[in-house]
């Protein structure tokens, strides 16, 4: 945001839109990267190749910022073009890097092992603590290097860190647990939909035990999902057509109950994904307008030291680290004892609490910005007045972002885990895109119906407070929608694996006992 404004001389609203577009691409690319990692390359190979792309993008940025002939005063257009090439190379690299690494880390815990399953619930908390520690270094050490040494030197440092991280990761390659890619994770879902449509005229059996499932040695290491009553139309894909010949048993005509339930799981996530998009819009303000506010306020700490505006982001990261640590070490043990649940509170409740905090953060930001604009000298208002909104956003992220990561990883089929992480990141990406769209709409509407646009060239003549209040209203209405959607949501049904079947025991979310007679019957 600062680079676009100070170096490329873009207007505030143009810079904000460009940041949001870049964030959108960066956080939507993992959908493609996760698909490739799950189905074809494998998570480790996808991580290695995309880490190289990120390092290349950073080196392009360093070259553009250091080479005298590419400086903005020589050719602003060329500098701008190469700058965007560099940052979008980083986006492409992120598409394979983030979903592969996060899902690969979670894969190191065995869900069937009771102790490791509990540890896995903490994994996403500490993963985000590590991420926030990186953010702290980025907005302090790197930001100070940008401020004092130059943008190019900071880009070289970042590229070196990226290369070092790859070396460290590869050093442990003999110790990891690996999952072999099984081909396109979307094909089985399409087969269920096609089979259900082709058999739409068939009646569903009264006893769900008559639905098709494969039980035997070939499934000894696979988890078989229990039947659920929602989206019953898809159950037709598992109806056996007796006497219909060999064509009735093809993969596009007959699928197992487990495949049907996996498809239901993915479809059930769509309303949740939609309901979390306003949170993505709110999160986009932290790296755009929140930072922009900091650049026009008094950032002096003492007589001579001036705080870089990026330092403010450190407050959000510190707040998130503190929230996650307290949640994992204090709240979860207490809630486990109080509720008897393994997680303490459900994942979706955790996300909802975070979304509420984020909405409150925007309300606080609106009040602070109105007070700043109303002061006699807006530029003399201390930047520390922005701390509450950054701290509240960090608090919201500690609940919502971590919860979304765990939700989208946990509730997708096992062969779609990287794609699941991509779905989580796409919430931020789509939210950033919607934020850009909202800026455009609000700009046109305010220019037409008000005396001036909410987004003037000078922040002191803009009305960011009204834009924040608009998002507060959207967030409040969305919280009601989210509550309705989550109240009707069904979590992944308990699963049974081949070795559990042979032993006659249950391993899953719901304790139960299975024998050969009721193996495929409905899970109560």
30 burial (CB, 10 Å; 0-12 / 13-18 / 19+) is buried
Tell me the pLDDT band of 455, cut-offs 50, 70 and 90. Answer: confident
DSSP letters for 260-290:
HHHHHHHHHHHHHHHHTHHHHHHHHTIIIII
DSSP letters for 89-118:
HHHHHHHHHHHHHHHHHHHTS-TTSHHHHH
Backbone dihedral angles phi then psi of residue 111, each to the nearest 5 degrees: -65, -30
The rounded mean pLDDT for the chain is 82
Q: How far apart are CA 498 and CA 225, in angstroms?
A: 11
Q: How far apart are CA 12 and CA 92, in angstroms?
A: 26
Tell me the pLDDT band of 218, cut-offs 50, 70 and 90. Answer: low
**What are the tens digits of pLDDT across the range 40-55?**
788 888 888 778 888 8
- The model carries a pTM of 0.77
Check residue 389 and give its pLDDT: 92
> Is a pLDDT exceeding 90 seen at residue 484?
yes
214 burial (CB, 10 Å; 0-12 / 13-18 / 19+) is middle
Tell me the pLDDT band of 272, cut-offs 50, 70 and 90. Answer: very high
Beta-carbon contacts of 71 under 8 Å, excluding residues fewer than 6 positions away, are 79
Tell me the pLDDT band of 505, cut-offs 50, 70 and 90. Answer: very low
117 burial (CB, 10 Å; 0-12 / 13-18 / 19+) is middle
Q: What's the N-to-C CA distance of the chain in angstroms? A: 53
Tell me the pLDDT band of 480, cut-offs 50, 70 and 90. Answer: very high
DSSP letters for 301-340:
ETTTEE--TTHHHHHHHHHHHHHHHHIIIIIHHHHHHHH-
Q: How far apart are CA 161 and CA 145, in angstroms?
A: 14
Check residue 243 and give its pLDDT: 67
- Residue reference for tokens 């057509």: 241
**What are the tens digits of pLDDT across the range 72-107?**
888 888 999 999 999 999 888 887 777 788 888 888
> Is a pLDDT exceeding 70 seen at residue 228?
yes
Give the Å distances, CA to CA, from 242 to 191, 208, 212, 236, 440.
20, 16, 12, 14, 58
- CA dihedral for 495, 498, 502, 503, sign (positive or negative): negative
Check residue 478 and give its pLDDT: 95
CA atoms within 13 A on the CB side of 201: 1
56 burial (CB, 10 Å; 0-12 / 13-18 / 19+) is middle
- Residue reference for tokens 């950032």: 299
In terms of average pLDDT, the best of 106-110, 466-470, 488-492 is 466-470
Other CB atoms within 10 Å distance of the CB of residue 234: 20
**Can you say whether residue 27 is alpha, beta or left, with left for phi > 0 and alpha for psi between -120 and 50 degrees?**
alpha
Give the Å distances, CA to CA, from 294 to 7, 299, 390, 403.
17, 8, 11, 29
**What are the tens digits of pLDDT across the range 275-324?**
999 999 998 888 888 888 888 888 888 777 778 777 788 888 889 889 98
> Is a pLDDT exceeding 50 seen at residue 63?
yes
Check residue 138 and give its pLDDT: 85
Check residue 51 and give its pLDDT: 82
214 contacts 256 by C-beta, under 8 angstroms: yes
**Minimum mean pLDDT range among 239-253, 349-363, 367-381:** 239-253
Residue 30 vs residue 275, higher pLDDT = 275
Other CB atoms within 10 Å distance of the CB of residue 287: 19
Check residue 226 and give its pLDDT: 82
373 contacts 465 by C-beta, under 8 angstroms: yes
> Is a pLDDT exceeding 90 seen at residue 483?
yes
């Amino acid at each position: 945001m600062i680079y676009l404004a100070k170096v490329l001389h873009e207007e505030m609203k143009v810079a904000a839109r460009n940041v949001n577009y870049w964030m959108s691409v960066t956080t939507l690319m993992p959908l493609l990267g996760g698909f490739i990692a799950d189905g074809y390359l494998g998570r480790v190979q996808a991580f290695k190749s995309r880490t190289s792309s990120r390092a290349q993008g950073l080196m392009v940025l360093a070259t553009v910022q250091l080479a005298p002939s590419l400086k903005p005063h020589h050719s602003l257009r060329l500098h701008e073009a190469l700058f965007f090439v560099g940052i979008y190379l980083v986006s492409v690299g992120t598409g394979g890097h983030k979903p592969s690494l996060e899902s690969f880390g979670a894969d190191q815990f065995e869900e069937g092992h009771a102790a490791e399953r509990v540890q896995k619930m903490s994994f996403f908390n500490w993963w985000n603590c590590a991420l926030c520690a990186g953010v702290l270094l980025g907005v302090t050490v790197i930001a100070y290097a940008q401020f004092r040494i130059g943008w190019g030197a900071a880009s070289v440092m970042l590229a070196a860190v990226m290369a070092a991280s790859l070396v460290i990761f590869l050093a442990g390659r003999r110790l990891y647990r690996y999952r072999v890619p099984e081909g396109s994770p979307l094909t089985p879902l399409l087969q269920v939909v096609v089979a259900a449509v082709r058999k739409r005229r068939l009646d569903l059996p009264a006893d769900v035990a008559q639905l098709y499932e494969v039980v035997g040695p070939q499934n000894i290491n696979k988890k078989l999902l229990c039947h659920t009553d929602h989206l019953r139309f898809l159950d037709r894909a598992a109806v056996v057509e007796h006497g219909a010949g060999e064509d009735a048993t093809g993969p596009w005509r007959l699928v197992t109950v487990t495949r049907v339930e996996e498809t239901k799981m993915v479809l059930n996530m769509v309303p949740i994904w939609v309901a979390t998009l306003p949170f993505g819009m709110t999160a986009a303000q932290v790296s755009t307008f929140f930072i922009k506010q900091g650049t026009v306020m008094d950032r002096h700490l003492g007589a001579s030291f001036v705080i870089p505006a990026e330092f403010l982001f450190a407050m959000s990261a510190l707040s998130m680290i503190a929230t996650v640590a307290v949640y994992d070490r204090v709240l979860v043990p207490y809630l486990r004892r109080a509720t008897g649940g393994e997680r303490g509170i459900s994942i979706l409740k955790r996300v909802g609490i975070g979304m509420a905090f984020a909405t409150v953060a925007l309300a606080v930001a609106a009040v602070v910005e109105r007070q700043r604009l109303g002061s006699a000298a807006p530029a003399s208002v201390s930047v520390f007045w922005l701390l509450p909104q950054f701290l509240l956003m960090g608090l919201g992220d500690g609940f919502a972002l971590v919860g979304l990561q765990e939700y989208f990883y946990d509730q997708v089929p096992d062969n779609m885990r990287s794609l699941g992480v991509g779905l989580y990141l796409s919430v931020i990406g789509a939210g950033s895109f919607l934020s850009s769209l909202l800026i455009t709409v609000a700009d046109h509407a305010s220019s037409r119906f008000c005396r001036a646009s909410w987004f003037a060239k000078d922040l002191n003549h803009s009305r960011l407070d009204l834009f924040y209040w608009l998002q507060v209203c959207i967030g409040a209405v969305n919280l009601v929608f989210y509550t309705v959607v989550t109240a009707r949501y069904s979590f992944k049904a308990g699963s049974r694996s081949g070795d559990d079947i042979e032993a006659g025991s249950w391993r899953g979310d719901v304790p139960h006992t299975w024998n050969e007679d009721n193996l495929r019957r409905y899970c109560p």
